[in-house]
């Protein structure tokens, strides 16, 4: 059980921490991620080896590998937590620190895109006529589709909080309902963003404004997709009864990530769309 100390063969002492089983998934995951990154570079630079055109083959193979490793690795982690009951209180504290550090790295990631956008908007260069946005760009009206998307994402933040409170109160059916609504709202947001991109009057290669706009909002959209998948897994786990008022870090991590996605979108809406 999780409250039984683990015996350390090396030191001969008991300790409260969980020592994971030997696993090949970290190594294979690194290989798959490396293949995906290399494939992306080769695809963007249209690399050929003699008469053989590489194209997107390594990128697709690497992406499939990453997704497969994610599936089997996290399946093992869920098995440790729910079946083996191996995650002690100390282990859960470590997991919380890990998730907090991961979100902190994501903050720095988006900070770079905001910095690029502001560097171009506050000090527009001669190439765009010292005007921001450039004269040939018809910007998206903030209180049209972006405002609706903002309301959808804010509502999803409310429903994921509803799911959290339902889990804390031991209301499984209610938590499942709230999670299902959250996932549906995440999918709706993604569909509306795809619609916005499809009907945009500018394209990625049309200059600094489209590049900065699509990089910032596009990566946020990617994070919404990842968060929706994260919450979908939590939805199936909630149906299976994996979450209890005492143990539900898997859901908490997804909720933290989703609230982070909400905050980033609010900043995008205010600073990129509106101001």
Same domain? 100 vs 42: no
CA dihedral (116, 122, 128, 132) positive or negative? positive
82: pLDDT strictly greater than 80: yes
Average pLDDT (22-43) is 93
Same domain? 208 vs 223: yes
Tell me, what's the pLDDT at 4? Answer: 52
Average confidence score pLDDT of the chain: 88
Instruction: Look at residue 178 and give its three-state secondary structure.
Output: helix
Establish if 6 belongs to a structural domain: no
Tell me, what's the pLDDT at 13? Answer: 55
Tell me, what's the pLDDT at 8? Answer: 52
Same domain? 106 vs 138: yes
Following DSSP, what letter does each residue of 59-123 receive, concatenated? HHHHHHHHHHHHHHHHHHHHIIIIIS----HHHHHHHHHHHHHHHHHHHHHHHHHHHHHHHHHHS
Neighbours of 235 (CB within 10 A): 21
Tell me, what's the pLDDT at 45? Answer: 87
Q: Which residues neighbour 270 within 8 Å (Cβ) at sequence distance 6 or greater? A: none
pTM of the predicted model as reported, rounded to 2 decimal places: 0.85
In this prediction, residue 203 has a pLDDT band, given cuts at 50, 70 and 90, of confident
Same domain? 63 vs 162: no
Same domain? 67 vs 97: no
Half-sphere exposure of 99 (CA within 13 A, CB side): 18
Following DSSP, what letter does each residue of 105-156 receive, concatenated? HHHHHHHHHHHHHHHHHHS--GGGTT-SS-TT--PPPTTTHHHHHHHHHHHH
Please name the residue that has the structure tokens 């697709």: 60
Same domain? 265 vs 148: yes
71: pLDDT strictly greater than 50: yes
Same domain? 185 vs 81: no
Per the structure, the count of domains in the chain is 2
Average pLDDT (183-212) is 91
Among the residue ranges 1-10, 18-27, 143-152, 219-228, the one predicted with the least confidence is 1-10
Same domain? 153 vs 53: no
12: pLDDT strictly greater than 70: no
Among the residue ranges 37-41, 57-61, 112-116, the one predicted with the least confidence is 112-116
The CATH number given to whatever domain includes residue 179 is 1.20.120.80
Same domain? 135 vs 270: yes
CA distance 231 to 9: 38
Tell me, what's the pLDDT at 6? Answer: 56
Same domain? 74 vs 108: no
Domain span at residue 212? 88-274
65: pLDDT strictly greater than 90: yes
């Amino acid at each position: 059980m999780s409250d039984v100390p683990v015996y350390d063969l090396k030191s001969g002492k008991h300790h409260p921490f969980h020592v994971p089983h030997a696993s090949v998934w970290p190594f294979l995951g690194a290989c798959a991620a490396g293949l995906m990154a290399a494939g992306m570079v080769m695809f963007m630079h249209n690399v050929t080896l003699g008469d053989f055109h590489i194209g997107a083959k390594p990128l697709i193979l690497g992406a499939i590998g990453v997704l497969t490793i994610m599936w089997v690795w996290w399946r093992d982690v869920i098995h440790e937590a729910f079946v083996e009951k191996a995650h002690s209180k100390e282990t859960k504290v470590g997991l919380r620190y890990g998730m907090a550090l991961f979100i902190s790295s994501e903050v720095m990631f988006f900070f770079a895109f905001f910095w690029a956008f502001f560097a171009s908007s506050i000090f527009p260069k001669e190439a765009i006529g010292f005007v921001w946005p450039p004269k040939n760009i018809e910007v998206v009206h903030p209180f049209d589709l972006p405002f609706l998307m903002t309301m959808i994402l804010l509502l999803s933040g409310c429903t994921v909080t509803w799911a959290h409170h339902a889990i804390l109160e031991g209301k499984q059916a209610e938590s499942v309902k709230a999670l299902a609504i959250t996932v549906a709202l995440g999918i709706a947001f993604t569909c509306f963003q795809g619609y916005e991109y499809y009907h945009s009057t500018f394209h990625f290669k049309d200059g600094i404004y489209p590049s900065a706009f699509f990089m910032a909002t596009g990566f946020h959209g990617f994070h919404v997709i990842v968060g929706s998948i994260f919450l979908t897994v939590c939805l199936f786990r909630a149906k299976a009864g994996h979450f209890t008022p005492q143990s539900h870090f898997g859901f908490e991590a997804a909720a933290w990530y989703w609230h982070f996605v909400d905050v980033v979108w609010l900043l995008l809406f205010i600073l990129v769309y509106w101001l």
